[in-house]
Amino acid sequence: MSLPQNTPGGVGPTIAITSSRLWAIFKLRFTKLIFPSHLSADRLGISLVKVNFWLTPWIRQDEHLPMSHLAEVTHERGMIWDSISIESSGGLNPLTVEGLPKSAAQRFVTQVRNWMNG
């Protein structure tokens, strides 16, 4: 998890979060151990980078959702790790990341909701 920081493009602060490698070990998800999911957001939108299979890291899922198309940010709290699901106004294919550290996920969701409402 990185704290909000200024980006060189003048967009403003950026916040990023990465799935836990310890979570990947406990869930026996080898691909997520080597290539954790990265979720980042700024005032323009949210980006997600996922690798689905460890033998083909060049085939990865890069998705970007503009802030104007955001409908809902769902924060599912677990006992140790959390997950975040971000839905677009169209409702198809939400951006979902599992295995996030609890405090980092809370900061991410709070910041994105502030940008959505502000």
SS3 state at 89: coil
- pLDDT value for 114: 92
CB contact at 8 A, 75 and 99:
no
- pLDDT value for 54: 84
- pLDDT value for 3: 46
Print the domain residue range for 7. 2-117
- pLDDT value for 13: 87
CATH code, domain with 87: 2.30.29
pTM of the model: 0.85
Question: Structure tokens of 113?
Answer: 């909701």
Show the low-confidence residues of the chain (pLDDT under 50): 1-4, 7
Residues 60 and 108: their CA atoms lie apart, in Å, by 23
- The residue type found at 48 is L
Question: Structure tokens of 34?
Answer: 């080597």
Residues 107 and 58: their CA atoms lie apart, in Å, by 30
Question: Structure tokens of 50?
Answer: 């996922």
> Number of structural domains, the chain?
1
- pLDDT value for 47: 95
CB contact at 8 A, 33 and 44:
no
